[in-house]
Structure 1
Amino acid sequence: APSSSRHIPNRAQLLSLKLLPSWSICRFGSGRMGDRTKTSWPEVEGLPGELAKRKILADRPGLNVIVLPVDSVVTTDYDIKRVRVFVNPAGIVAKVPKVG
């Protein structure tokens, strides 16, 4: 039988591939409630931080949502499971929360 020039990678090869960051794949979500691809929440800007956190978790339950003061020092790493909600001194969301 002639050998095929097509290679089918095994599991180890697939896991070692450099994949696109998940945000480049999922950033085009429609934004509907329960949308598992949603990556930003402009609709919560201006709401109390804890309410914003609940709304974000309603859309994406697996995320780690952290409410922080707007002037907090944070790491610059990108985490596909993290959303930081920055609030002003009154506890109101001061900028659009997004995955990262």
Structure 2
Amino acid sequence: MSGCPGIGKDSWPELVGVCGREAAKVISEENSLVNPLIWGENQPITRDFRCDRVFVFVNDSGIVTRVPMVF
């Protein structure tokens, strides 16, 4: 759990290995309270925690490489 009250679903392990765009669409459909951001797996990220943000880390082929979760 993310520690965000009322957020609902906060991680999507089933999306590892799928296309990042498709993963972002699924996340948006399953939880309208979060904003999925497609992000290169080697791009730097901010370390501040936000209940409305989900990083969808993808490789150079656009495939999800880590479990998307509220971060």
TM (norm. structure 2) is 0.90
- Alignment partner, residue 75 of structure 1: 46
Give 1 or 2: higher strand fraction.
2
Q: TM-score, normalised by structure 1?
A: 0.65
Q: Alpha carbon RMSD of aligned pairs, Å?
A: 1.7
Runs of at least 4 residues off by over 2 Å: 22-26
Query: C-alpha distance in 2, partners of 1:79/1:37?
Result: 14
Higher relative contact order (CA 8 A, sep 6+): 2
**Where in structure 2 are there 5+ consecutive unaligned residues?**
none
Identity of aligned residues (%): 34
Alignment deviations for residues 62-95 of structure 1 (CA, whole Å, 9 cap, x no partner): 2111001100101100000000000000000001
Pairs aligned (count): 70
Max Rg structure: 1
Equivalent residue for 1:23? 2
Structure 1: gaps of 5 or more residues: 1-21, 27-35
